[in-house]
Amino acid sequence: MNPLTPGNLLSLEAYARQRADFRARVLAHKRDRKVCIGEHVTLLFEDRLTIQYQIQEMLRTEKIFEPDGIAEELETYNPLVPDGTNLKCTMLIEYDDVEVRKRELLRLRNVEHAVQLAIDGHAPVTAIADEDLPRSNDEKTAAVHFLRFELDAGMITGFKRGANAVFRIEHPNYRAYALLTGAQQKALAADFA
């Protein structure tokens, strides 16, 4: 992993001056890093730029400028940066209606352990979910999870060469898949540099 350091971050003043341009660049960058699996699950794939943006926004919002506070934010968010052998993402379970969301989060308990990546010619890889802390309990799942997909060298080679890559969920109450577009695959392949 190539973790972010304090030297990679802008001061609060510098970030305030560059925020609009930086935000526009990050939003454009994120466009092909978003994968929708069915109607209600979205995977947002993280990398150094998306995590730098998240940290800069946290520093700005919380007005953090002391070295200890900055170090704490880096320690919190650096584990979400892929290390060259994996893809890391934030998984969102989205239902507009609050009552429907409550009901579905009960039905979707453990869905975060049912997300897979299948690359042609290789066995599927199941995501490793919520390594930092559990986000589900015996009754329901959370609406946000953090996933890591660990790939071996052969899978990475196939992925980078454009072999079909499919994210799928095989849960008793939610079954869906998403075949990556060429643009999505190209964007995510950069995480294996």
Which tens digit of pLDDT belongs to each residue from 145-189?
999 999 999 999 999 999 999 999 999 999 999 999 999 999 999
125 contacts 160 by C-beta, under 8 angstroms:
no
Angle at 35 (CA atoms; ends 33, 39), nearest 5 degrees:
150
Question: What phi, psi does 81 have (nearest 5°)?
Answer: -85, 125
CB atoms within 10 A of CB 103: 13
Task: Please give the Cα distance from 84 to 137 (Å, whole number).
Answer: 31
Residue 1, pLDDT score? 57
Which tens digit of pLDDT belongs to each residue from 68-120?
999 999 999 999 999 999 999 999 999 999 999 999 999 999 999 999 999 99
Which tens digit of pLDDT belongs to each residue from 12-58?
999 999 999 999 999 999 999 999 999 999 999 999 999 999 999 99
Residue 59, pLDDT score? 96
pLDDT confidence bin for 130, thresholds 50/70/90: confident
Residue 150, pLDDT score? 97
Residue 136, pLDDT score? 75
Which tens digit of pLDDT belongs to each residue from 136-156?
777 899 999 999 999 999 999
Could you give the C-alpha distances from 12 to 54, 74, 147, in angstroms and in order?
A: 13, 15, 30
Residue 112, pLDDT score? 96
Residue 3, pLDDT score? 87
